[in-house]
A and B are shown apart, each in its own frame.
Chain A
Amino acid sequence: MDFPFLGFGVGLRTKHYSEILETHPAVDWFEVISENFMVAGGRPLHILEQVRSRYAIVLHGVSLSIGSADPLNPDYLRQLDALARRFEPAWISDHLCWTGVGGRNAHDLLPLPYTPEVLAHVVERVRRVQDVLGRRILLENVSTYIEYQDSTMPEWEFLSQVAEQADCGILLDINNIFVSAFNHGFSAAEYLHAVPVERVQQFHLAGHSDKGTFLHDTHDHPVSDVVWDLYAQAVRRFGNVSTLIEWDDHIPPFGDVHAEALRAKAIAESVDHAQPRADTAALLDADHSA
């Protein structure tokens, strides 16, 4: 697939705007929440212009609602396309989920039943979205707290089938795999090994909270050691994939979040890749010699 290796990035958050614009930290790239910049004008777009002038960015959406029974929202797609044309992100991603139904929006990443019927529904919609945007998108596995009784296949099979049939990429959230594996009692390693290598073009890493009976994908902690271990396994299988740290609540100073990205880089560089990628290996080598 034709996605570049961007290195090790950080999610752009309001709290860090000033520091990023004043100090220009040596972070490889930023991921921005698309909807936060679907506005007419003002500070958000002004900030993004400046960030984009120095860094590669990726647009990461939360409202595509690719799995909803509602029709795709043409206004959303139009605004997303306009944003992409203006800021030229390396790629556009969203989540394999639904966010609302009946014209109402939960603003949450809600899980889908994993059935052949829903698979066909999602695949058809991904194709249409990619036609509108004129590019392949990445879809991310979400943390889930329920499984539907009607599901007939595991999440990794559903995700892989969507990617293969719709010809899109996968944004593999390592923390989400760990959280969902705990919450539903499946094997995170089995998940990793079932996902097709060539489809995975980005990793997400984030912290979660242990609520006793379940793990909650809160993005308010450092990445946990068990998730770092899973990340190392993922790098072994998928090679050097663009990696991003998400931190959305109780956000620490930028340096702390960036340190997590650098830790990911150190792990990625120390892992013996089972599946080196020609495109990413060349970039990593160039990076090393710099």
Chain B
Amino acid sequence: MPSLAQTQQLFWTLITAPEGVAAGRNALRPSQRALADTLVREDARLSAVDRLDIYADMYFYRIRDCLKEDFGAVCAVIGEAAFHNLITDYLLVHPSTHFSLRYVGRHLPAFVRRHTVGTQWPYLADLASLEWTILEAFDAPDAEPLAPAALAAVPQERWPDLRFTLTPSLHLLDVGWPVHEIWKQAQAVEKRVEPQPADSCVRVWRQDLRVFHRPIDAVERGALTAIRAGAVFTDVCEGITAAAGETEVAARAAALLHEWLADELLTGFSVSR
């Protein structure tokens, strides 16, 4: 009698065979094939293969349906049939290794980049990255937003040494295509405009339990990246100066702070000395 591990490994091999249980069985080594043929009872209603195919279908369709929810825009762009084939290929390389279905799509953006769909739709990997990042922001740790009054109470002379903390749901996504527009078009049924490549950075964050995303310019990207790296406010402003110019720095820094507070990107601050 095979061990439990052998039985389960064989069961797994059969139900995850991309072309169905019969093909999976035929691809087995002879010794394994003999085990497969005595694995499951059959009756007049259903053969052993028919019965195992029920599990094979459930395996694939449950994960495909989950990924279709997580990557709805990708599916909308390439269509149901291409998405089905993409997920078939994906699961062969990246079967789920996490106990939660929540993480089954974590390798899909990188996989799309290498897959033929990534050649046919060159913006698809960036779009998949955006959708995955939205999911990451959706259930990122909670954090109380910084109250503007708390910041207003900081004496002016302490400002250069302020270090801000950013909300854990904030992600900065560097992309080569205007994925925020492609994502928006994919949500609607309207005719899509063929996008043109354009380097940009998309800011993804959660506010009031909802996930938002929008493109940001190089100045904001640089400032947020510096804050995340632990830069004090005076160094953040130097970065803004380098990107936007001496005359713009005060107005731009004030505008960014105002916006970040409104979007609840800031969750706290410390003063380094």
Residues on A lying within 8 angstroms of B by beta carbon are 35, 38-46, 63, 65, 67-69, 73, 75-76, 98-108, 110, 113, 115, 117-118, 121, 145-150, 185, 213-214, 216
Contacts and interface: CB of A to CB of B under 8 A. Distances in A.
Contacts, number: 125
B4 A121 contact: yes
Given A107-B96, A147-B40, 15 more contacts: A35-B101, A40-B142, A41-B143, A42-B169, A42-B209, A67-B4, A69-B4, A75-B99, A101-B11, A102-B12, A103-B97, A108-B62, A113-B7, A149-B39, A213-B45
Contact of B45 (A103, A146, A214, A216): A214
B101 A41 contact: no
A90 to B, nearest CB: 23
Given A69-B8, A145-B55, A213-B46, A35 B142 contact: no
B58 interface: yes
Given A108-B58, A214-B54, A35 B3 contact: no
Interface string B176-212: 0000000000000000000000000000001001000
A42 B55 contact: no
Contacts of B101: 35, 107
A38 B209 contact: no
B108 interface: no
A110 B11 contact: yes
Given A42-B209, A73-B99, A113-B4, A107 B40 contact: no
Contacts of A108: 55, 58-59, 62
Contacts of B157: none
A146 B55 CA distance: 9
B95 A104 contact: yes
B78 interface: no
A14 B220 CA distance: 35
